[in-house]
A and B are shown apart, each in its own frame.
Chain A
Amino acid sequence: MHQKEWKRCRVGFCVLSTLLALFLCVGHAQAGKIRVVTTTTDLKALVEAVGGEDVEVVSLTKGYQDLHNVMIKPSHIRKLFRADLFVRVGLDLDFWGDRLLDNSRNSRIALGAPGYVDASRGVPLHEVPTAPVSRAAGDIHIFGNPHYWLDPENAKTITANILAGLERVAPERSGTFRKNRKQFLADLDNAMNTWRKRMEPYRGTKVVTYHRTWSYFVRSFGLDVVGYVEPKPGVPPSAAYLRGLIDKMKDDNVRLIIVAPYFDRKMPQFLAQEARAKVLVLPPSVEGVSDVQTYFDLFNYIVASLVEAMRQSPVS
């Protein structure tokens, strides 16, 4: 090796040493609160319900965002780098979280680490494929429908998973977390009674939804989904399909089409016009609209909107 090359190597070594010294400055702030990152605003709300004042929660997505189609950003990596706990929907809805975890450089929240929580564990799933799956069936969820937080009963299992995660990273605060969760469950039971009473007169009402977002909700509250705007998950409808759906809506006397805020409104509005139905835009997540800031707000809003819409458009 020439002297000139050795000189270059020395310069390179000095640069690397300086950089390492700079990285040494990077430390994890030991704040009093547990830093939690969730993939959705619903999980953020539930973590806040269990963690109370002891947690500082950030969601990687917004409540009015389509969770199937999320662009991951460097700022997400920075949030995860500092996190003590990572809570995800699981299944294959927030699959993009895997790439973020790989890039997070944070072993505390890696798969299988104490700070990793898959909120779907133990939740009874609907629409689990029983036949071999293929993309010919559209953007199918291979483990079952992942919108399970829309059945309030499932919040019991979700918060149990969150509680277990919080206890793993901060066992000394276990008592507070358990107390918070107990209160949340009591409030949930009371609220559930109210929601069910309000929805009871409309049990069996036939509706159409854009995507299979509302499967858990409609089963929990007794609505009957007779069709979807999408012929297959993630596949836009053809004119022929829409004609068939209009006929079905007329035959079944469907008066309501439920759409999440991020889906195209033109086709639901066309359907509504042709079948003399009404389009109801409902947020499937907390913070989907400004009035909805907690998990209870979400169902208060959905139930109130549905009751009002069904009252205005009674089935003849």
Chain B
Amino acid sequence: MRKLTWSALCIVLVSLMLWTDSPGLAATKPTEVEDLRQELERTQTQLKELTTKMQELQERLQQVEATKVDGEPVAPPPPETPSRPAMLQVPLGQRQLLLDVGITGDFVAAFVEGEEKTPRGAGTFPGRENRVFPQEVELAITGRVDPYARADFFFEFAEEGEIEATNGSFEVGRQLEVGIDEAYVTLLQLPLGLQARGGQMRPKFGRLNVVHQHDLPQVDRPNVLVNFLGEEGESEVGAELSGLLPTPFFQELSIGVYNGDNEVSFGKGEITDPLVTAYLRNFFELSDASALQVGLSGQTGPNEQDRRTVLAGLDLTYKWTPLEQPYTALTLQGEGLYSHHETKADDKDRFGAYIFGDYRFSRRWGVGTRVDWSEFPIVSGREWAVGPYLNFWLSDFLRFRLEYKHTDRNFAGNLDEVFLQTVFTLGHHPPHEF
């Protein structure tokens, strides 16, 4: 029996030796080992993943246990990051562009009858009569600088027109100009509830001076603002401080100090003899649907002849916006400006005003009319104008406007103008404000 057992064992061993030396095994052995090695690696990877997941779950469980109140989870502390990322927070690896970017195109076709090729006889857009032109293409970049400040940049590209007298005749010049409309930083939370702005900005003076070209309620800026502050309004470099007054209604006082570069009314351009502005904004909520704003504004500074110019203004805005009809709005607005302009020869006291009514009666349609009356701060003459218009919004970001404007002047011929405007925005656009 023992002999038989030994014989069987020998046969098995010899067979095994022969088998292990066979060419077939020599070929398959490395493949199997490789397979086993790969399987082992996969298992190790899975094990690592499971371990990581278990650790994460353990941490989350600990967090939940730590924040439980009466069996209900309590929210963690407030977020350190914005809940609403800017429209252009494009992930760039681990970084983000933490700013809002918007670009707006404002193109106008101006058809004019009765204009004269003289600086004072030209139409609303001198040098661009009977043309289609970019009134403004604005690039807006805004955002928070840090927890304490925000920055706003507005760059504009526009076709500017000019009529110059040369050798007894007048020449029309046009060029595409690129410039900074505004670039300022706002310190948001100063002591005593104050805020400060610094840089280049539109001073808070009156109602429409702070409004950018494409956001104006009509195609053009009211005549009085153009005559007293220039076609694009007043944009100055300096600083401004504003605060809320302790009154039972909203009352904000803003005071600014600027270089005084405005070429029409000021122009000395030295901060040692600055342009000083003040604006008192009073807001009265008459009902849920209607409100009234009354603004008192003033500014004083040296002009190009190193004499003083004083501007004073009063603005009134009434809005009726029934809340259950989100696109319906009636706006009645007016603004009057007085100018005291000292020159070496004499002092000039001039006045101008505008008033308009604007009614948006549906999501897409609105109508309005503006009436202007204005003198000029330095030269003599006066004009009045009336301009009805029709608005059509395809969406909040694309608007068309058709406007007719008749201007009657006592220093040149009358004008009849038709404007067709399209305004379109890509990217960020701030919310509607009163």
Within 8 Å CB of A139, what residues of B? 396
Q: Mark B214-246, 1 if CB is under 8 A from A, else 0.
A: 000000000000000000000000000101111
- In the assembled complex, the Cα of A122 lies from the Cα of B252 at a distance in Å of 38
Within 8 Å CB of B364, what residues of A? 236
Q: Which of B147, B195, B250, B397 contacts A74 (CB 8 A)?
A: B250
Within 8 Å CB of A228, what residues of B? none
Query: Is the beta-carbon distance between A72 and B323 smaller than 8 angstroms?
Result: no
How distant is B322 from chain A, measured CB to nearest CB, in Å?
A: 10
Within 8 Å CB of A98, what residues of B? 82, 84
How distant is B326 from chain A, measured CB to nearest CB, in Å?
A: 4
Determine if B122 is an interface residue (Cβ-Cβ < 8 Å): no
Stretch of B26-34, B69-77, B91-99 on the interface side: B69-77
How distant is A143 from chain B, measured CB to nearest CB, in Å?
A: 8
Query: Is the beta-carbon distance between B192 and A20 smaller than 8 angstroms?
Result: yes
Interface size on A, residues (CB 8 A): 75
Given the interface pairs A12-B276, A99-B430, the reply to whether A74 lies near B252 with Cβ below 8 Å is yes
Chain B 231-271 residues near chain A, CB threshold 8 A: 241, 243-246, 249-250, 252-253, 255, 257
- In the assembled complex, the Cα of A182 lies from the Cα of B83 at a distance in Å of 27
Determine if B400 is an interface residue (Cβ-Cβ < 8 Å): no
Within 8 Å CB of A295, what residues of B? none
How distant is A122 from chain B, measured CB to nearest CB, in Å?
A: 6
Determine if A144 is an interface residue (Cβ-Cβ < 8 Å): no
- In the assembled complex, the Cα of A237 lies from the Cα of B400 at a distance in Å of 20
In the complex, the chain B residue whose C-beta lies closest to that of A177 is: B69
Query: Is the beta-carbon distance between B69 and A78 smaller than 8 angstroms?
Result: no
Stretch of B283-291, B350-358, B369-377, B380-388 on the interface side: B283-291
Within 8 Å CB of B188, what residues of A? 102, 105, 110
How distant is A78 from chain B, measured CB to nearest CB, in Å?
A: 5
How distant is A164 from chain B, measured CB to nearest CB, in Å?
A: 4
In the complex, the chain A residue whose C-beta lies closest to that of B73 is: A160
- In the assembled complex, the Cα of A113 lies from the Cα of B188 at a distance in Å of 14
Q: Which of A96, A112, A160 contacts B79 (CB 8 A)?
A: A112
How distant is B298 from chain A, measured CB to nearest CB, in Å?
A: 12
Query: Is the beta-carbon distance between B431 and A95 smaller than 8 angstroms?
Result: yes
- In the assembled complex, the Cα of A234 lies from the Cα of B323 at a distance in Å of 17
Within 8 Å CB of A66, what residues of B? 323, 326
How distant is A294 from chain B, measured CB to nearest CB, in Å?
A: 20
Determine if B406 is an interface residue (Cβ-Cβ < 8 Å): no
Query: Is the beta-carbon distance between A69 and B327 smaller than 8 angstroms?
Result: yes
- In the assembled complex, the Cα of A20 lies from the Cα of B242 at a distance in Å of 10
Chain B 284-326 residues near chain A, CB threshold 8 A: 285, 288, 291, 293, 321, 323-326
Determine if B167 is an interface residue (Cβ-Cβ < 8 Å): no
Within 8 Å CB of B324, what residues of A? 64-65, 261-262
Given the interface pairs A16-B255, A116-B78, the reply to whether A264 lies near B363 with Cβ below 8 Å is yes
Q: Which of B69, B189, B281, B395 contacts A163 (CB 8 A)?
A: B69
Query: Is the beta-carbon distance between B283 and A26 smaller than 8 angstroms?
Result: no
- In the assembled complex, the Cα of A82 lies from the Cα of B5 at a distance in Å of 101
How distant is A246 from chain B, measured CB to nearest CB, in Å?
A: 22
Query: Is the beta-carbon distance between B84 and A92 smaller than 8 angstroms?
Result: yes
Query: Is the beta-carbon distance between B246 and A26 smaller than 8 angstroms?
Result: yes
Determine if B164 is an interface residue (Cβ-Cβ < 8 Å): no
Given the interface pairs A111-B82, A121-B79, A262-B324, the reply to whether A105 lies near B431 with Cβ below 8 Å is no
Within 8 Å CB of B194, what residues of A? 23, 105
How distant is B331 from chain A, measured CB to nearest CB, in Å?
A: 11
Query: Is the beta-carbon distance between A107 and B189 smaller than 8 angstroms?
Result: yes
Determine if A216 is an interface residue (Cβ-Cβ < 8 Å): no
Determine if A106 is an interface residue (Cβ-Cβ < 8 Å): yes
In the complex, the chain A residue whose C-beta lies closest to that of B285 is: A75
Q: Mark A89-115, 1 if CB is under 8 A from B, else 0.
A: 011100110110011011100111110
- In the assembled complex, the Cα of A21 lies from the Cα of B323 at a distance in Å of 39
Determine if A161 is an interface residue (Cβ-Cβ < 8 Å): yes
Q: Mark B414-434, 1 if CB is under 8 A from A, else 0.
A: 000000000000000011111
How distant is B87 from chain A, measured CB to nearest CB, in Å?
A: 9
Query: Is the beta-carbon distance between A178 and B70 smaller than 8 angstroms?
Result: yes
Within 8 Å CB of B243, what residues of A? 19, 23, 26, 105
Within 8 Å CB of A92, what residues of B? 84
In the complex, the chain A residue whose C-beta lies closest to that of B257 is: A12
Given the interface pairs A69-B326, A235-B395, the reply to whether A62 lies near B288 with Cβ below 8 Å is yes
Within 8 Å CB of B72, what residues of A? 156, 160, 181-182, 185
**28 A-B residue contacts at CB 8 Å?**
A16-B241, A20-B192, A22-B246, A26-B245, A62-B288, A65-B326, A71-B432, A71-B434, A72-B433, A74-B293, A75-B250, A75-B283, A75-B285, A78-B244, A81-B193, A105-B188, A105-B243, A105-B244, A111-B82, A118-B78, A118-B83, A122-B73, A156-B72, A160-B74, A164-B76, A185-B72, A235-B395, A262-B325
The 10 closest A-B pairs by CB, nearest first: A96-B431, A74-B283, A66-B326, A74-B250, A161-B75, A65-B323, A164-B75, A69-B326, A107-B189, A23-B192
A sample of 4 more A-B contacts (CB under 8 A), given A73-B433, A167-B74, is A12-B276, A72-B434, A168-B77, A185-B72
